[in-house]
Structure formats: structure tokens, C-alpha cells
Structure 1
Amino acid sequence: MSATVSANFAPARAAAEAAAVGQQHPGGVLYIVATPIGNLADISLRALHLLAQADAVACEDTRHTRSLLRAWGLERPSPSLLAVHEHNEAEAAQAVVERLREGQRVAYVSDAGTPGISDPGARLAAAVRDAGLRVVPLPGASSITTALSAAGVTGDGRFVFEGFLPTKPGERAAALQALLTEPRAVVLLEAPHRIAALAQALQIFGARPVTLARELTKQFEDIATLPAQELAAWLSADPNRQRGEFVIVLHPAPQAERALDEPLRVLRLLLAELPLKTAVRLAAEITGAPRNTLYDAALRLRAEC
């Protein structure tokens, strides 16, 4: 398979060389290279050129990266592949710095997507920068922006990236409670063995639209948008929907819902100290929000505790 894929990428490598003619990729620089999140054809021409020219490739997993490079026809000797992952990033960064000081070009890739974004690479880039050396990013695939581009999030385009929420149920519930009043879209990541639990926890967002993107750019890519309260049932209806890596986009609350952000914040504070009816009455007097609306919200909050 690798030989066939390599042959198919021969025209791409030739195009990469042609496209990069005259471009400057000096030595003594760390190049942060985005790689595909699934579909190998999503590699950029510039990335192909730089990976061929680099003196060394630092990577999250040398075995995985060797397979990627082989698929593109970019075989490399083992000594030029440097393991830099979350468990050794601090010390391995110093070895990279030494190579850069010798004038080498070093490319860094994570297992998939853009390094340093919920992947190792940030500490490496910081160490190189702190050493007074240059860091150059090569843009490319990112599961975050890929999911957002298909989610159809309307509004002002702002979003917040939360990544993986805490795994303990209580901590995860607290994190989601804090996001109830977030006016921007929220992007989450989740693993297959925890997606069902996250879907259950997301029910507190009620009818808020959620886009679930699974196996992005791969053969069994699946992107669906539905109300948060229906997500758990949708997942359980088909076991295949719980397979793969997930990006979840929680759409912004509608304007009418956002108008209750401050009243709900006040209500939560009061509920922590006072009986339900007293908390509702005081929250309504303080914020001017309808008492019936706050009473219904208080019942939901108490049921979640």
C-alpha cells in the first residue's frame, strides 16, 4: 500500500518543488508543520517541500511519522527522526535547540493536525523562542477549524476552544455549568469511550444546537447538527456513531436566551444559600427577569445537582 501511495504522490512532490522554487527556508529555524487529520491528500505543497528539505523531523511518535513520510515518498533515516512528545518535551526541546544552533532545519509534526493546539509542540516552540531562535509555522489541517467550517455557526463568528473537559463527572458538570452563559460558540474534543457520557451531560443546554463531527476527512466522516437534549439518544441509536475521534461545536445561545445570562448567574448564587422560592423572588427583584421563567430555571438547576 505504501508503495502505491508514494507513487500517487510523486506528482504532488514535483508540484511542491515547483511551487517552492525561490522561497526561503533558512537553517537554524524550527518549522511547525501541520499534517493531515485523516486524509493524506490534505498535506500542503509547502509542507511536502519542507519535510523533504529538513535536516531532522521532530515528531510526537516516530513510528507514526515514519509511516506518514513513507506514504508521501519521503523516506528518512532513523537518526533524523526525533521523538518529542508530552512526556519528554522539555528535555527533548534542548536537543532540538542544539541542532538549530548548528544551523539545521528542524520540522516538528504532531500525529495529526496543527502542533501545539491540544497536541504537543507548544513547549518546544516556547523553548526555541526563549533561546533567541526563530519559529516558523506552516499552516494546514486542524480539526477545530474544519468542524467549525461545516457547523454553520451564525452570528459574529467568535468561538472559544475548550478542548477536552474534565473526565470526572462532577468536574465535567461544573465546567459545563460555567459554559451555560458563554455567548460564543464553544468547541470541545472527546474520545470515543467518553462521548456517551458527554452527550448525557450536554442535555443541560436543552434545545441549543450542537454539531458533532466524527472522523473528519476520513472514509466514515459523519457531521450532524441537532438539539443538545437529543444528542444522547441520537448516539445510542447507532453504535457506529460512537466510534472515532470527536469534535463538538456548541452553537451560541439565541439572543433571547442570552438575555437571561445575568439573571441565571444571580439565581445560581442565591440558590446556593437560600430556599428555592426565596432565591427566585430575590433574583426577579434584582434583575427584573420574569419570576415564572426563573422558577422553571431553578427547578432545572436543582434537579441537576
Structure 2
Amino acid sequence: MRVIHTIAELRAHLRAQPAAPVFVPTMGNLHDGHLALIHRARELAGTTGAPVVASIFVNRLQFGPNEDFDTYPRTMARDIELLTSAGCDVLFAPTEAELYPQPQGYKVVPPTELADILEGHFRPGFFTGVSTVVHKLFNLVQPQAAVFGKKDYQQLMIIRNMVTQMGLPIEIHGSDTLRADDGLALSSRNGYLSAQERSEAVQLITVLQGIREAVKAQRNDATLSLASVAQLEAQAMAALTAWGWKPDYVLVRRQRDLLPATDEDLVRGEPLVSLAAAKLGKTRLIDNLEL
């Protein structure tokens, strides 16, 4: 695997390749969930000669003033070993000065109706930071396709919409969330959990699974309603709180736009997704399940 730190070297190297790359952007501190994205990229590249390119960059623009930018784990040596073993061809790992040589005055601001709800409500400006860095990386790598994890459900939707509205010739592929044996979604921030917290962290997926089973049962007996959905959300919030979590939200939304379902949506079986974000100790975790 070739490790590249400058934009000039990246462009020169990719111009010499026989096909446009398949791209996996990350912030590093890699785990098996990231490696699953690399394996998916390898499948998409196939036998075309297209290189699989990963990036590692901890993007300051998407961190709020009281978030963990300074303490976010940087594990470059280990990440390089993992990417090499997973079959990645190129790692682009720029410094902050390389990627942002000037203050980033030009930014990609996604529509408020999607970017200011759920995660965007609790992390103002987060999706502007994400959209800006991803768009910039897309311009530099110029991939034919890019792979993102479904754990960041809202982020995946925003990036897909950005690519469509900006007319970028990139196929966006969502990869299913990889989970530990007990169901916890793999995340770089899981490393912040104490041993006791790690054993309790499965409670987040437990409440989402409870919502999924209840929605399925209520659909089967035609009792699913806005009132019953609101009750399921409130029960999930109460359960997390009783277990010692500090939940930001547990909500059921439409898969297509993450807006609340209407009565008509529920009657016609609109595809739904349950999404949750909550703090366990000092660690904030997110997860989701399609219903």
C-alpha cells in the first residue's frame, strides 16, 4: 500500500492508474467496521484495475467547541497495518495544513430540513463540516464510487443528496453496520468506554430492537399509529434514562427523508427507521435500525 501525504503526489499517482478509484474516507482509529468498507470497495473495484483509496483525516470542521477533536484517537501506524492487510492500495493521510492551507471560508451547507434535525440538532454545524470535507476529498480523489457505513444513517443520506444535487459522477454505496457479538455497533468511540460501560452499551441496540419488534407486531394487527409510535419513542427514552444513560433522542422516522411519518405513511407501510443517540458516561453513541 502506498501512503501519500500531499495533494500533488495523490493527483500524480491517481492520474497514472488505469481506472478511477473506489474511495473510503475515514477519520482513522480503524476497526473491523472500517475494514468491511475496504472489502466492499475492493469488490466494487473488481478486476478493472481501479485502486482502492482510503483517507485518514480528523476533520476539525465537524467538531463542536466542546467535543473531542483534541482527544480523538490517532492510531496511524496501526491503521496502516490494518489497511494493508485489508487490500487497500492507497492511503491519503494529509496534514491539516495540507488539506486546509487557508481557513476554509467556502463551505458546503446542506439543507436545514435534513441537516438541522437529529444529529444536526444536537451538533450544530456538524453536517456542514462533514459535507465540506467529503466534497473536498471527492474533488481530490475523483472516485468513481465511494463507500460509507449505514451506522451514520443521516450522514449517508446527506452525502448521497449532495452528490446528486452537485452532479458529481460518483456512486455512493451504503454498507450495513458491523456489530460485535452482543449487537453493539462498532465505532471508534467505543474505545472510550470503561469495561463496565462496554457491558452496558448493548442497551442502545436493545431499545431499537424493541421498537422494531413492536412496530412489526402493530403493523401485523393494524394498530400502528402516530400515538403508538410516540409511545414507543418515549418508552425507549425512559428505559435508557433508567439504565443511567443521557439520551439525546430515540425517534422513528421515514427512511426516505428522515422526517416524521404521517398517518397515511403508516397506513400504506412507509419504510421506517429508528435512530438513537445517547451518552453512557462521557461517551456519546449512535445507532439505528431499519424497520
TM over 0.5: no
TM-score by length of 2: 0.33
TM-score by length of 1: 0.31
More helix by share: 1
